[in-house]
Amino acid sequence: MPRDAAAPAPRSGRRGGVIVSDLIELLRLAGPVVLSRLGIMVMGLTDAIVVGHFSAKQLGFHAMAWAPTSVFVTMTVGLLVGVQVMASRALGAGKPQGAGAVLRRGLVYALGLGLAGAALLVLLGPPLLHRAGLDKALADGATAPLIVFSLSLPLYAVSVALSFWLEGLSRPGSVTIAMWIANLINLAVNLLLVPGTFGLPALGAVGAAWSTFVARAAFTAMLVVIIVRMKDAKALGVFDKPAPDRPSEIEQRRVGYGAGLSNFFEVSAFAGMSLVAGWLGGLSVAAWAVVLNVVAVIFMVPLGLSTATAVQVGRAHGARDPAAMSRAGWIAFAVTAAFALLVSLLLWPLRGLVAQAYTSDPAALALIGPALALSCLFLIPDAVQVVCAQALRARGEVWIPTVTHMISYALIMGPLAWWLALPMKLGVDGIVWSVIVTSFLAAGLLLGRYRMLDVRDKG
């Protein structure tokens, strides 16, 4: 008889120790990733603040130029998730050289995505701006920064592949450091080019776009240097040309297809919420924008947890350890829910102060306060669903999260938001209620699927 079976108490103790060990590993991985994702947000916020202080008109140009590129940015992140997942699987399977093959395949794929996105935006972006019903001056002003933003997309895509690979190897710290150095570079170039410091011409929105280009180039270069100088780079197969492996190539891209479509559905759905708010009026747009901004900052923590969870689950998947896959997932879901609950309990009483940080307009505050209060109801399910979706992808379930997001966000949230906000006359609160409903639906479906996999693997 196995010793574990004869001594249930020690086995129970070891199980508790494994849970604590997994929890510590989750938090160790998630911390740097959260800081890295916050760095991405800060970079965009820096551009907006510097341009906004220079000229409100130029800020409008910057915002309109950024809008179409954000779709490509979000899709690229999703399509390259396979780099992260497959790198962690390679380590879990005890095949470190396979991680190098994942990186090289990912870089070729990323460069192709970036070049394709840049070409499409440069060729089609300006005509679309001028045919979207915008004021001609706004479309003209957004054209040049749009082209510059587009030129940096190949650099961005390559940097995503590099950073995802390092995160998949459980080495997110170097990515975080590089990201914040890139933020400092972005700020410095912004202060030089946007207002025209030291006799340079004031470039406004175009200057901010060039700042993004320079920062992305610097970030990419730093990640290349970090990887090349890794002590175990050779052992990981970084410098080796990978042998042809068509099944692995297909699987790496397949994971990304699902994540890319999921991101597209979510981004498009929330863009639609802004359109519904626009039908309600200018103050409603402002109120909804504040809710989105606050939630986006909070969301960086679940996003970091989702990356750490994917690494842990992917490693267990590579090691063919169903118990470890299940345990890593449920620990992450519990931590995520606990974090979101804590934030909700803090935001609820502080919603007035948070709203006042954005505006002093009494009419706007009257809309923002209740909307922020309601948003506390969807923080938990929304946070859990993004972590669960990544855990499922790392476990080999690519299309279930995508279909779930399509049903929840693309098919239900938009029409529900319109019905509650306009015919039911709930205004911005109606939009928030639609997010609450769809977040609970998505979380319920994804958690249910995760539990089904647990039962299947045990059987």
**Residue 375 pLDDT:** 94
**Residue 217 pLDDT:** 97
What band does 132 get if pLDDT is binned at 50, 70 and 90? Answer: low
Count of C-beta atoms within a 10 Å radius of residue 147 = 18
Is the pLDDT at 180 greater than 60, yes or no? yes
Alpha-carbon dihedral 293, 295, 296, 297, rounded to 10 degrees: 90
What band does 292 get if pLDDT is binned at 50, 70 and 90? Answer: confident
The SS3 call for residue 224 is helix
**Extents of the domains making up the chain:** 30-243, 251-459
Q: What is the pLDDT of residues 301-355, one digit of tens each?
A: 898 898 889 888 988 888 888 989 999 999 999 999 999 999 999 999 999 888 8
Tell me, what DSSP letter sits at residue 413? I
If you average pLDDT over every residue of the chain, what do you get?
85
Is the pLDDT at 251 greater than 90, yes or no? no
Q: What is the pLDDT of residues 422-443, one digit of tens each?
A: 999 999 899 999 999 999 999 9
Is the pLDDT at 5 greater than 70, yes or no? no
Sign of CA pseudo-dihedral 441, 446, 449, 450? negative
Q: What is the pLDDT of residues 49-76, one digit of tens each?
A: 788 778 767 777 777 787 778 778 888 8
Characterize 350-361 residue by residue with b for buried, 16 or more Cβ atoms within 10 angstroms of its Cβ, and e for exposed: ebeebbeebeee
**Residue 57 pLDDT:** 76
**Residue 255 pLDDT:** 78
Q: What is the pLDDT of residues 218-242, one digit of tens each?
A: 999 999 999 999 998 888 888 888 7
**Residue 150 pLDDT:** 94
Characterize 255-276 residue by residue with b for buried, 16 or more Cβ atoms within 10 angstroms of its Cβ, and e for exposed: bbbbbbbbbbbbbebbebbeeb
Q: Is the CB of residue 48 less than 8 Å from the CB of residue 353?
A: no
Two tokens, residue 135:
């004021």
pTM of the model as a whole: 0.74
Two tokens, residue 411:
């098919």
Q: What is the pLDDT of residues 188-199, one digit of tens each?
A: 999 999 888 888
CB-based contacts of 174, cutoff 8 Å, min separation 6: 166, 223, 226
**Residue 3 pLDDT:** 39
**Residue 282 pLDDT:** 63
* Average pLDDT for 88-98: 83
